[in-house]
Amino acid sequence: MKLLRYGPPGAEKPGMLDAEGAIRDLSGIIDDLSGAALSREGLARLAALDPASLPRIEGQPRLGIPFAGTRNFVCIGLNYADHAAETGAQVPKEPIVFLKSLSALCGPTDDIIVPPGSRHTDWETELAIVIGSVTTRVSEAQALDHVAGYAVANDVSERDWQNNRGGAWDKGKGFDTFGPLGPWLVTKDEVPDPQALDIFLDLDGQRMQDGNTRTMIFGVRTLISYVSQFFTLHPGDVISTGTPPGVGFGRKPQLFLRPGQTLRFGIAGLGEQQHRTIGVD
């Protein structure tokens, strides 16, 4: 299934895509795509529905974050050896874990705000793991049992704040709109191998990132197990698994985002996002 939330910010309704790509309204079935709706049992109930029996939404409404209830937005740093090399960093011996602000979350077509005074805002297309059940100290063998599905993410980063302004990476990672997710949550039954997915990003029509999740240093099972040793994950929590090479920071000469540009990025089978970059006073 491809599950989503549509409507104005703060007033999104749950929905699913039918076989023709039309949005079908789920608000008569569930309150939201959160909590128990993301569990194995909750997803099975939704999968048993006939989409044709649900109201069809006409037009092209805004898509929001495709699920709700996120408590932890976990990111993994330097999880592709070739990305570590392009940034001049050593390959980590264990996953690098940091938390991204929940206020960074935004929908798959919302504008991305280049922070005032920023000259080093960068992109990082990533596979996002969406947790479906309470997850504490699980083994790698059990890890996928706790996954609701996957989504496209981007760990947008302001490199000056991340690297040069003191303290942890979080400073450069948590600006508003720096965590777009979507366009939908693809349930794990449609992703038989999360370590075989092509990833891309285009900036103003020019290909910048072109990678595959098979080159991750630490795979999906490992990351879920590893993170769950340190804190409990809940339904709707996200683990963004790191980015392949091609970020602006690693290019020669370096290239960063400015207002008025278009980002298009996606992952095979999981959909695409497209954003304008804008400035604010």
- The per-residue pLDDT for range 125-167, each reduced to its tens digit, is 999 999 999 999 999 999 999 999 999 999 999 999 998 888 7
Q: What is the DSSP-derived secondary structure letter of residue 82? A: H
State the average pLDDT over residues 5-25. 97
- 78 shares a domain with 52: no
Asked if 169 and 240 touch (Cβ cutoff 8 Å), the reply is: no
- 256 shares a domain with 179: yes
Supply the pLDDT for residue 83.
Answer: 80
- 204 shares a domain with 92: yes
Q: pLDDT tens digit string along 24-62? A: 999 999 999 999 999 999 999 999 999 999 999 999 999
Q: Report the sign of the C-alpha dihedral through residues 188, 142, 95, 218, in that order.
A: negative
Supply the pLDDT for residue 281.
Answer: 78
- 242 shares a domain with 193: yes
Task: State the chain's mean pLDDT as an integer.
Answer: 96
- Sorted by sequence, the CB contacts under 8 Å of residue 5 that are 6+ apart come out as 12, 13, 14, 15, 32, 33, 63, 64, 65, 66, 67, 68
Query: Is residue 35 included in any domain, yes or no?
Result: yes
Counting the structural domains of the chain, the total is 2
How would residue 170 be classed by pLDDT, with cut points 50, 70 and 90?
confident
- 234 shares a domain with 117: yes
Give the tokens for residue 65. Answer: 């974050």
- 220 shares a domain with 108: yes
Q: pLDDT tens digit string along 204-255? A: 999 999 999 999 999 999 999 999 999 999 999 999 999 999 999 999 999 9
